[in-house]
Structure 1
């Protein structure tokens, strides 16, 4: 009898203890990863006579810090960059909070990449393609983006309140930023993006994509909203058990700002890296890229990627001269270093020729020539 009583008390005690101290849950996943890069740059430009006489210039390009973190199911992705003051100084390239609903769906809030065209880059080289210079490649804006990826299908939907915003007032947007946005007397606002991708083949290496974008342009002089829209289709063959990478894209865009009377309506200002230039209000852009990966796995060099990227910018403004860009080169992977060696050719290109302000607007009709910039960018990534 005493034994039964003792066992009953022990059972009751263990039950109470179990109620007061429930079984511990597995620890929630948490981590913090820090990284970054230091890059230096050598360039020799054919249109700069003084630079040709010096044999080119070699100097500081960029220092960056990357952070990825997760705590209690909320993730962080951020990248802060520092350039020289001549190229915009210091600014955030990207930074967003992320919540994963499951393995296929996620939500990003903050400064994230706009889902438009081939991502992450519509290029293989250090210079990007001409799409970057009019705000349609690796563009980052402030908003909310939802991504659903089931393998064969991926779709993204996003709302952006604005581009990078630094001063919450009616002032000209600062050009001190990473990706090209509308600046000057217009401000991007209330933008919607939708993108869908279909992957084909047993290895899903073939990707077909369709993108749409629409939004408003607030003019600081008239205090009225204009409109803008863009669309793109693309194909990409990604190197899955294949050394080849192929990128093809066609896009169009239209900007309709509400300018004050007397203002030229055929262009607007865009800016990044500390400076603005003019861009035609209407145009189509066609790009093509090809790259070949050569694994070496030697003690010094692990691989070489050889590539060529071409872009044709058709301006839909009477009297405006079209623009071209072609970059051929190679990427050398040397341990933690990536070394881009590029010969970049430009025709009516602000970064690849003597005309800065109007190269992507009216150009220099009757006096335009091809120019070349030989560039070596070496970066140590950690």
Structure 2
């Protein structure tokens, strides 16, 4: 496998050598023309028709810090029981409404000549898994159009950075196909309308090598679970994943753009107890457009996961925010998001963006119910302040489901199949 991974890395570098050279006009970072071994690689990557960057006598370290602080006002009512257990108490509190801490994130990004980096650490409530990495990578810019990132980066799959517009996200996120992050190496070419990305990820973005259960993370992955009585005990995890994404943007001048693309991924699932492996794969077709103030995102994805050495292979255990769920091993995802940007000049408010998100997950097991969500809301922008206001009506949405016996199977059998409604206001300051 090590020889295979080395060959893939060489393939990424070779692909960069043969792609045509170009530069993005809005990239401010010039290439380093100093005559050393690193610059020889960079110059080989660039073709003759790439405009030479200004020579730098000595690179300087440029660092900027960023972060966010967010709170939720969440209201939902599920008719929870009166047994006095944690699940009933939690549902009753949420049914009456609550104003709670959501997350605090701190990050830094910067460059040293053509070396670049970007990292962010997230702090959530303990019930959501505590604190963990959101992303963190170091990279190299061979030109304005080409770079490599090594570390925990966003997986090149589907519409990026998000296939949805709402705070709740579409169901693509809860099956690991939206805003996903893994640990490995990614190569990117973005110029002349093209967005071409390839990646190899050794494993998911875990921060603990030896944790028995590791669902404390930002994005959803197949995770080992040892919580007997809550969810089936199994030690299956992800490894050796390959991703490819190709998209092209059609420029409509002052009207906007249309970006169409396809994505694919394939990797291994490892049973930590037996050492056996099997494969998982996903494919997607996607379209993203901006036409004046109107914005549209459409995506269709298929995913198949084959957990090795398990009694019931109809599901895998996926987890994030400290909570594992069963997810159907074979499913289709339909995702859409429509939005409109309205400029506003009212005090600090500069824009209001109403949106409607829809997504549905259908499963290979006929007896299992679909996951469906409708989210109607709007985003209010006022300088560094962003406020999401969402009304979600859903069946089987992990963030709109009671903490009872149905919760662990919400993305698999989804037994109760009840429509539920929640209202949430997320208030975030970004700096």
TM-score (norm 1): 0.89
Query: CA 1:297/1:29 → structure 2, altered by over 3 Å: closer, same or farther?
Result: farther
Looking at structure 2, the residues matched to 361 and 58 of structure 1 have their Cα atoms a distance apart, in angstroms, of: 30
Looking at structure 1, the residues matched to 79 and 248 of structure 2 have their Cα atoms a distance apart, in angstroms, of: 45
Contact 2:106 2:120 in 1 (8 A): yes
Aligned to 1:181: 221
Whether 2:268 is the aligned partner of 1:216: answer yes
| CA-to-aligned-CA distance 1:259-296 (integer Å, 9 cap, x gap) | 24xx1111010010011010000000011110001101
Structure 2 gaps of 5+ residues are 1-54, 81-90, 225-234
Query: Once the 2 structures are TM-superposed, how far is the Cα of residue 52 of structure 1 from its aligned partner?
Result: 7.3
| CA-to-aligned-CA distance 1:288-323 (integer Å, 9 cap, x gap) | 110001101221311100000000100111311111
Query: CA 1:53/1:80 → structure 2, altered by over 3 Å: closer, same or farther?
Result: closer
3-state SS of 1:197 partner = strand
Looking at structure 2, the residues matched to 224 and 89 of structure 1 have their Cα atoms a distance apart, in angstroms, of: 31
Looking at structure 2, the residues matched to 52 and 112 of structure 1 have their Cα atoms a distance apart, in angstroms, of: 36
Whether 2:390 is the aligned partner of 1:342: answer yes
Query: CA 1:156/1:53 → structure 2, altered by over 3 Å: closer, same or farther?
Result: closer
What aligned pairs does 1:213-292 form with structure 2 within 5 A after superposition? 213-238=265-290, 242-260=292-310, 263-292=311-340
Match 1:36 to one of 63, 67, 84: 67
Query: Once the 2 structures are TM-superposed, how far is the Cα of residue 25 of structure 1 from its aligned partner?
Result: 5.4
Looking at structure 2, the residues matched to 88 and 259 of structure 1 have their Cα atoms a distance apart, in angstroms, of: 28
Report the number of matched residues: 352
Looking at structure 1, the residues matched to 417 and 296 of structure 2 have their Cα atoms a distance apart, in angstroms, of: 30
Whether 2:206 is the aligned partner of 1:165: answer yes
Aligned to 2:375: 327
Query: Once the 2 structures are TM-superposed, how far is the Cα of residue 119 of structure 1 from its aligned partner?
Result: 0.4
Query: Once the 2 structures are TM-superposed, how far is the Cα of residue 221 of structure 1 from its aligned partner?
Result: 2.7
Looking at structure 2, the residues matched to 327 and 308 of structure 1 have their Cα atoms a distance apart, in angstroms, of: 6
Superposition RMSD in Å: 1.7
Looking at structure 1, the residues matched to 162 and 172 of structure 2 have their Cα atoms a distance apart, in angstroms, of: 10
3-state SS of 1:115 partner = coil
Looking at structure 1, the residues matched to 353 and 332 of structure 2 have their Cα atoms a distance apart, in angstroms, of: 29
| CA-to-aligned-CA distance 1:75-113 (integer Å, 9 cap, x gap) | 110011101101111111000001100011000000000
- Rg comparison, structure with higher value: 1
Structure 1 gaps of 5+ residues are 1-23
Aligned to 1:102: 143
Query: CA 1:52/1:111 → structure 2, altered by over 3 Å: closer, same or farther?
Result: closer
